[in-house]
Amino acid sequence: EAEVAQSPRYKITEKSQAVAFWCDPISGHATLYWYRQILGQGPELLVQFQDESVVDDSQLPKDRFSAERLKGVDSTLKIQPAELGDSAMYLCASSPAGTSGRYEQFFGPGTRLTVL
Amino acid sequence: DQQVKQNSPSLSVQEGRISILNCDYTNSMFDYFLWYKKYPAEGPTFLISISSIKDKNEDGRFTVFLNKSAKHLSLHIVPSQPGDSAVYFCAVFPRGTGKLIFGQGTTLQVKP
């Protein structure tokens, strides 16, 4: 069964360092999402891609976060510099639908980030 | 401004009984509602969904009810099994978008 792949699964870093997360969506899925889940809360959308284009990054802290999906397939989310408040689970999801589609999203296992 | 609220952080039920998880929303512009289940150290997995034009959708042991006048969504699990123990998130699709807005989650524990 096709799955969304993410790496690394766990990342520990010190504040002010740079970190990067990688996501490979299900093959053929045009839409890719990055979510952040803080403990005790639901996932919150950071950025949404349709193919290689950013559709929604209104909740992405652009002073320190960046995301790219250069060839419209896999994606990288970067944080530089990391802050203590960035400690969270970072989830990647993909969907076969376009930006107005209502298909369910398929999530990867996430990257657990701890900033010390 | 929380558009989707799950007011019960946790729920404990006995195996074989019914589990009822609740979700309230504030915006009538949501036209599709979903439930996700999440085990520790895994990503959320899709469970069941319902369109705003319906008031009930059933899939095996899982039934979702939608009360539009009350802006309330519920998930019934009958009978509950220990393997159902997980965090359950309700989520909504705002009209015209492909993004999901999640509630805070409810941790369900099903005791053998």
Interatomic CA distance for residues B18 and A5, integer angstroms: 34
Note the pLDDT tens digit of each residue in B45-66. 999 999 989 999 999 999 999 9
Cβ pair A97:B43 closer than 8 A: no
Q: What is the dihedral of CA B18, B74, A102, B30, to 10 degrees?
A: 180
Closest approach of B75 to chain A, Cα-based (Å): 17
Note the pLDDT tens digit of each residue in A77-111. 999 999 999 999 999 999 987 655 556 789 999 99
Q: Which of A43, A55, A102 sits opposite B93 (nearest CB)?
A: A102
B31 touches chain A (CB under 8 A): yes
Give strand pairing partners of A107: A93
A73 touches chain B (CB under 8 A): no
A97 touches chain B (CB under 8 A): yes
Cβ pair B98:A106 closer than 8 A: no
pLDDT digits (tens), chain B, 112 positions? 678 999 999 999 999 999 999 999 998 788 889 999 999 888 999 999 999 899 999 999 999 999 999 999 999 999 999 999 999 999 998 877 778 899 999 999 999 9
